[in-house]
């Protein structure tokens, strides 16, 4: 047993408060000592010793690190890089991978596991640790050749005929975080889930297998993995470029940023191969940097995250500004908007909402004659449903998350979620893919430019035809997760009769399938749910306004409607 320079009687019998709960410091100390004894990483052992040495002053921090193990959320684990079971570290990765390979064995599923990683703190080391657990279990571990986008890993699961895939990434989470996402191959995922993220009951079964691992020192570690050569990236790019029409127009000027993530090399190669030429880039954000120094939050949805690429686009006279999130599975788009000002200045640009990009891409594919099922989620715009009904195409609607979207049916041809995720080629990558989405939106913009139009013109055309579907989102970030559960309980206990001044026509509670409540009026909708990846309560608002007079008049009415919904639901939730 490792000893710590802290007298037993310094903490015995004392209590501390953590998230409103009293914690026995001595019991907590003993748990930490047991963890220290089994932690394979000298760095995190030293980190945890320092916290123990600070007791009782560090009791709250220690309680947070041991508040519970990270659990499988949206396809895997995600949390801050730090020592202890409630963090991402080598010990947690070793245990998670040991549970995963044990579960694969229980399923009788042979085959290799392919492992990818991004450039966040700890990613390369976590990937190497996962690989050695896989080889220690007698399986082949195939490690991608360098930090790469998540869509490349999703592609590689099928391309390399792997039984499963692991991607070490925290996507667009804060810099302190990392994560561990699990994908399944055809053997366990089936036709629609091959190369897709895990869904129940696999997540619960893997979670149970992780808890059954026991002492980490007993987990066998094998030799280093086989490193996949660059041909996997070339193969991914070949398929990505094939998504756009090789004979389509390419006369468009692009600006691009990977937001300090791993998307640049892959995205720029894709643009060049597809014939769009080299976009203007943001030099300060081009290389991977796990600290994300130029943005407050590495998520292109967040205010200010795209300021640099919009400034570069305005200065260079670009027609389109595109950003990928740090693992390049999401795509954000900004466009010049003359109503806002001079496009040669950043104030003359507008960031398109995820719903706007989603319906633009869907409409583009429909106009190209793409048949099959067009799918979105319960929190995304209802416009896609109207477009499919009008054009006689199958429509799918799922719970939030691409793990559900890609399982909408064998006939899936396009899927999107409002959080900037798009799948324009499910036969290539059965997950959201920010690279192919960027290529497709560039193709659409080039086609419109050839005809003297813009993406905003096409959005106006869709609004005139179907009505203006205006969406917005409100997020409440919390330090105490009980705030979220209390707000959801308050909503469920309230009989909501009106929203935005209109009678509520439908109330749907999706429990126990999902922690989601949906409220509808004749021309509006509110969806409330906790985030699956962050400590947030999310509220999704939608108002549908007919364009009977003018589009600006409909926009004004829609903005007022959204604000009325926002005010009412905020009062109901009490947050």
pLDDT digits (tens, 9 = 90+) for 474-498: 888 888 888 999 999 999 999 999 9
pLDDT tier, 13 (very low <50, low <70, confident <90, very high otherwise)? very low
Enter the CATH code of domain 248-462.
Answer: 3.40.120.10
Q: Is 123 tagged catalytic?
A: no
Interatomic CA distance for residues 253 and 312, integer angstroms: 12
Residues 6+ apart with CB under 8 A from 512: none
Same CATH topology for 248-462 and 467-573: the answer is: no
Q: Average pLDDT in the 545-554 region?
A: 94
Residues in Cβ contact with 259 at an 8 Å cutoff, skipping those fewer than 6 apart: 285, 292, 295, 298, 300, 305, 323, 324, 325, 326
CB-count burial class (<10 Å; 0-12, 13-18, 19+) for 390: exposed
Least Cα distance to 443 among 210, 242, 206 occurs for 242
CA-CA distance, 429 to 239, in Å (whole number)?
Answer: 9
Residue 278 is classified by DSSP as P
179-186 mean pLDDT: 97
pLDDT of residue 9: 39
Residues 194 and 216: their CA atoms lie apart, in Å, by 30
What confidence tens digit (pLDDT) does each residue in 435-477 have? 999 999 999 999 999 999 999 999 999 999 999 999 999 888 8
Strands 113-117 and 141-143: parallel
The token pair at 349 is 């640009």
392: left (phi over 0), alpha (psi -120 to 50) or beta: left
How far is 473 from 460, CA to CA, in rounded Å?
21
Whole-angstrom Cα distance, residue 212 to residue 71? Answer: 14
Alpha-carbon distance values, 351 to 291, 355, 513 (Å): 24, 12, 34
- Sketch the domain layout of the chain as residue ranges: 1-67, 68-229, 248-462, 467-573
Residue with tokens 């935005």: 500
Torsion sign (Cα): 516, 521, 522, 528: negative
Measure the CA–CA gap between 405 and 374, rounded to whole angstroms.
10
The 3-class secondary structure across 172-220, one letter per residue, is: CCCCCEEEEEEEECHHHHHHHHCCEECCCCHHHHHHHHHHCCCCHHHCC
Instruction: Give 256's pLDDT tier (boundaries 50, 70, 90).
Output: very high
Q: C-alpha distances in angstroms, 224 versus 131, 135, 145, 150, 324?
A: 7, 7, 13, 22, 31
pLDDT the model gives residue 16: 59
385-410 residue pLDDT tens: 999 999 999 999 999 999 999 999 99
pLDDT tens digits, one per residue of 33-63: 999 999 999 999 999 999 999 999 999 999 9
pLDDT of 75 above 80: no
End-to-end CA gap in the chain: 46
pLDDT of residue 575: 83
- Average pLDDT of span 146-168: 98
Cβ atoms of residues 334 and 318 within 8 Å: no
- Percentage of residues in the chain with pLDDT exceeding 70? 95
The predicted structure's pLDDT at residue 532: 75
pLDDT for position 10: 42
User: Secondary structure of 48-100 in the HEC alphabet?
Assistant: HHHHHHCCCCCHHHHHHHCCCCCCCCCCEEEEEECCCCCCECHHHHHHHHHHH
**In the structure, what pLDDT confidence band is assigned to residue 2 with cuts at 50, 70 and 90?**
very low
Whether residue 518 is predicted with pLDDT greater than 70 in this model: the reply is yes
C-alpha Rg value of the chain to the nearest Å: 24
| Selection from 368, 309, 317 nearest residue 343 by Cα | 317
In this predicted structure, what is the pLDDT of residue 20? 52
For residues 47 and 40, what is the distance between their CA atoms, to the nearest angstrom?
A: 13
Mean pLDDT to the nearest integer, 362-375: 98
Q: Is 231 exposed, middle or buried (CB count within 10 Å of its CB: 0-12, 13-18, 19+)? A: exposed
Q: For 527, phi and psi rounded to 5 degrees?
A: -120, 130
Q: List all residues 6 or more positions away from 119 whose beta carbon is below 8 Å from its beta carbon.
A: 147, 261, 262, 288, 289, 290, 326
Give residue-wise pLDDT tens across range 262-297.
Answer: 999 999 999 999 999 999 999 999 999 999 999 999
Average pLDDT value over all residues in the chain: 94
Q: Decide: 276 and 442 in contact? Cβ < 8 Å.
A: yes
Flag whether pLDDT at 190 surpasses 70: yes
Least confident of 92-106, 391-405, 527-541: 527-541
Whether the predicted pLDDT of 241 surpasses 80: yes
pLDDT at 74: 63
In this predicted model, what pLDDT tens digit does every residue of 159-182 receive, in sequence order? 999 999 999 999 999 999 999 999
Q: What is the pLDDT of residue 531?
A: 85
Return contacts of 295-300, CB within 8 angstroms, 24+ apart.
295/259, 295/260, 297/172, 297/174, 298/172, 298/173, 298/174, 298/175, 298/259, 298/260, 298/261, 298/325, 298/326, 299/172, 299/325, 300/172, 300/259, 300/324, 300/325, 300/330, 300/332, 300/420
Dist CA 532 CA 401 (whole Å): 9
Prediction pTM value: 0.94
Marked catalytic residue, from 5, 123, 171, 316: 171
CATH number, span 68-229: 3.40.120.10
> What is the arithmetic mean of pLDDT over 354-361?
98
Q: Is the pLDDT of residue 21 over 90?
A: no
Place of tokens 């895997």: 76
**Across-strand partners of 413?**
none
What is the per-residue DSSP string for 10-30?
Answer: GTTT-EEEETTEEEEHHHHHH
For domain 467-573, say whether CATH 3.30.2350.10 is its number: no
SS3 state at 247: coil
Kindly state the average pLDDT of the residues 338-362. Answer: 97
Residue 76's pLDDT is what? 87
Nearest residue to 437 via CA among 569, 570, 310, 332: 332
Q: What is the pLDDT of residue 477?
A: 84
Q: What is the rounded distance in angstroms from the CA atom of residue 484 to the CA atom of residue 532? A: 12
């Amino acid at each position: 047993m490792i000893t710590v320079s802290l007298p037993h009687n310094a903490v015995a019998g004392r209590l501390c408060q953590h998230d409103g709960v009293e914690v026995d410091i001595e019991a907590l100390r003993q748990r930490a000592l047991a963890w220290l004894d089994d932690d394979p990483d000298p760095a995190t052992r030293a980190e945890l010793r320092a916290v123990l040495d600070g007791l009782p002053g560090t009791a709250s921090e220690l309680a947070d690190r041991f508040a519970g193990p990270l659990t499988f959320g949206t396809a895997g684990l995600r949390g801050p890089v730090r020592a202890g079971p409630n963090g991402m570290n080598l010990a947690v990765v070793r245990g998670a991978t040991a549970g995963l390979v044990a579960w694969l064995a229980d399923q009788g599923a042979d085959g290799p596991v392919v492992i990818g990683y991004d450039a966040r703190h700890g990613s390369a080391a976590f990937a190497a640790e996962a690989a050695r657990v896989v080889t220690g279990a007698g399986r082949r571990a195939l490690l991608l050749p360098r930090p790469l986008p998540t869509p490349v890993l999703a592609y590689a699961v099928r391309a390399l005929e792997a039984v499963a895939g692991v991607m070490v990434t925290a996507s667009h989470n804060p810099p302190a975080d990392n994560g561990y996402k699990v994908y399944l191959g055809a053997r366990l995922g089936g036709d629609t889930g091959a190369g897709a993220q895990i869904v129940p009951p696999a997540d619960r079964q893997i979670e149970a297998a992780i808890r059954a691992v026991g002492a980490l020192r007993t987990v066998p570690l094998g030799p280093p993995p086989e490193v996949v050569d660059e041909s996997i990236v070339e193969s991914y790019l070949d398929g990505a470029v094939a998504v756009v029409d090789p004979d389509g127009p390419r006369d468009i000027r692009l600006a691009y940023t990977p937001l300090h993530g791993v998307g640049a090399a892959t995205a720029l190669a894709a643009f060049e191969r597809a014939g769009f030429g080299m976009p203007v880039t943001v030099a300060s954000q081009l290389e991977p940097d796990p600290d994300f120094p130029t943005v407050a939050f590495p998520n292109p949805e967040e205010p200010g995250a795209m300021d640099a690429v919009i400034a570069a686009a305005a200065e260079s006279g670009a027609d389109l500004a595109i950003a990928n999130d740090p693992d390049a599975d999401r795509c954000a788009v900004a466009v010049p908007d003359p109503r806002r000002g001079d496009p040669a200045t950043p104030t003359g640009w507008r960031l398109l909402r995820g719903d706007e990009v989603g319906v633009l891409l869907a409409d583009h594919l429909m106009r190209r004659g793409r048949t099959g099922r067009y799918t979105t989620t319960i929190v995304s715009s209802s416009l896609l449903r109207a477009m499919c009904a009008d054009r006689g195409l199958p429509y799918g609607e799922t719970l939030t998350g691409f793990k559900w979207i890609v399982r909408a049916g064998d006939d899936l041809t396009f899927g999107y979620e409002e959080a900037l995720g798009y799948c324009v080629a499910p036969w290539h990558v059965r997950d959201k893919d920010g690279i192919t989405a960027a290529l497709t939106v560039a193709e659409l913009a080039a086609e419109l430019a050839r005809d003297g139009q813009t993406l905003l013109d096409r959005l106006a055309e869709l609004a005139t035809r179907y009505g203006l579907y205006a969406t917005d989102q409100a997020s409440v970030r919390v330090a105490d997760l009980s705030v979220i559960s209390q707000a959801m309980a308050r909503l469920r206990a309230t009989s909501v009769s009106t929203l935005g001044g209109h009678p509520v026509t439908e109330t749907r509670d999706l429990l126990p399938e999902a922690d989601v409540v949906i409220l509808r009026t004749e021309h509006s909708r509110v969806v409330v749910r906790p985030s699956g990846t962050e400590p947030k309560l999310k509220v999704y608002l939608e108002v549908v306004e007919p364009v009977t007079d003018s589009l600006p008049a409909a926009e004004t009415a829609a903005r007022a409607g959204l604000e009325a919904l926002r005010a009412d639901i905020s009062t109901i939730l009490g947050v």
